[in-house]
């Protein structure tokens, strides 16, 4: 679903937006079917949590880096309507998909509660500009229903926090760029929405993870983050580090020219391309159509 202009306005004025019904039913179903190759089904997990000890190691143990082995799940990271939203908000078509993960959480595995914090700390070497230049957009595509019982993200409208320094004097231990627990308890908004919804926020917005409020609940999401290509001080993942994963090979082979560019793949006409590189890349990705990049010798 193409994201309406009102949601872009909400990102600018509130720092975040929530878009119900972002995915079509068939897109959501196909992506959900791929999830279980990456993480336990809820029924299987709760039948014997001890069989899945990794999820109790830390709040972030349920994160899996892109790509997965499922195309229907991987393609959500560069869903055309998500790319369209990023282009319109960042006012450029020269985009970088700089981070993507799958996140699975299970009630009781660990306490998922967090202090309110800003994400720029590990997305940038510096601090966000107040005028919005260099803005980064982070997004959650919800792959399960998220109610108040399911550990929703709690987000703080920017009007309540814009007076706070990017580097607060008083932070929670282990949480740089945070504020003490409870600082925004009266103004935080819970990002609850049905599966298939899109939650987008900026990296200068205070938010926090919350713990589950009932047993045998779970939450699944795909996280995809965008910025304008160029700044060397922003980013998070280096895609060449993932490039030997079979799922990434499939992504490069099946993606459009535009979608490959989001990962930093050289465009047709780039000086990188010559007979040798066209031939070599064809060998590396056997099912890619190299015609736009040049003649394979």
**CA atoms of 240 and 244, how far apart (whole Å):** 8
By the 8 A CB rule, do 222 and 100 touch?
A: yes
Q: What is the CATH number of the domain that holds 143?
A: 2.60.120.620
Interior angle at CA 169, CA 163 and CA 171, nearest 5: 100
The secondary structure of residue 78, as a DSSP letter, is G
Per-residue model confidence as pLDDT tens digits over 182-222: 999 999 999 999 999 999 999 999 999 999 999 999 999 99
Query: Is residue 86 pLDDT above 90, yes or no?
Result: yes
Asked whether residue 108 is assigned to any structural domain, the reply reads yes
By the 8 A CB rule, do 49 and 108 touch?
A: yes
Asked whether residue 281 is assigned to any structural domain, the reply reads no
pTM above 0.85, yes or no: yes
Asked whether residue 297 is assigned to any structural domain, the reply reads no
- Look-up of token digits 């590396």: 284
Domain total of the chain: 1
By the 8 A CB rule, do 70 and 196 touch?
A: no
Q: Which domain holds residue 260?
A: 5-265
Name residues whose C-beta falls within 8 Å of residue 50's C-beta, 6 or more positions apart in sequence.
none
Asked whether residue 283 is assigned to any structural domain, the reply reads no
Per-residue model confidence as pLDDT tens digits over 99-112: 999 999 999 999 99
């Amino acid at each position: 679903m193409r994201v309406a202009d009102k949601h872009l306005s909400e990102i600018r004025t509130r720092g975040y937006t929530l878009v119900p019904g972002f995915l079509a039913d068939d897109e959501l179903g196909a992506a959900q079917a791929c999830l279980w190759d990456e993480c336990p089904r809820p029924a299987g997990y709760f039948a014997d949590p001890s069989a899945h000890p990794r999820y109790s190691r830390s709040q972030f143990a349920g994160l899996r880096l892109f790509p997965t082995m499922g195309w229907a799940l991987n393609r959500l990271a560069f869903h055309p309507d998500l790319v369209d939203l990023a282009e319109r908000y960042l006012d450029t078509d020269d985009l970088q998909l700089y981070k993507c993960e799958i996140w699975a959480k299970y009630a009781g595995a660990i306490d998922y509660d967090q202090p309110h914090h800003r994400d720029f700390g590990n997305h940038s070497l510096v601090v966000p500009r107040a005028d919005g230049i260099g803005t980064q957009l982070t997004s959650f595509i919800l792959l399960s229903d998220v109610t108040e019982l399911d550990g929703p993200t709690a987000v703080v409208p920017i009007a309540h926090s814009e007076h706070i320094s990017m580097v607060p004097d008083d932070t929670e231990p282990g949480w740089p760029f945070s504020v003490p627990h409870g600082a925004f308890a009266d103004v935080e908004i819970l990002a609850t929405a049905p599966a298939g919804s899109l939650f987008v926020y900026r990296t200068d917005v205070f938010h926090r993870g919350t713990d589950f409020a009932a047993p045998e609940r779970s939450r699944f999401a795909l996280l995809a983050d965008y910025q304008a290509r160029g700044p060397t001080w922003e980013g998070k993942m280096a895609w060449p580090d993932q490039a030997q994963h079979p799922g990434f090979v499939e992504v490069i082979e099946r993606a459009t020219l535009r979608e490959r560019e989001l990962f930093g793949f050289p465009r047709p006409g780039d000086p990188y391309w010559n007979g040798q590189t066209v031939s070599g890349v064809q060998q590396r990705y056997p099912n890619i159509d190299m015609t736009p990049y040049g003649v394979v010798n």
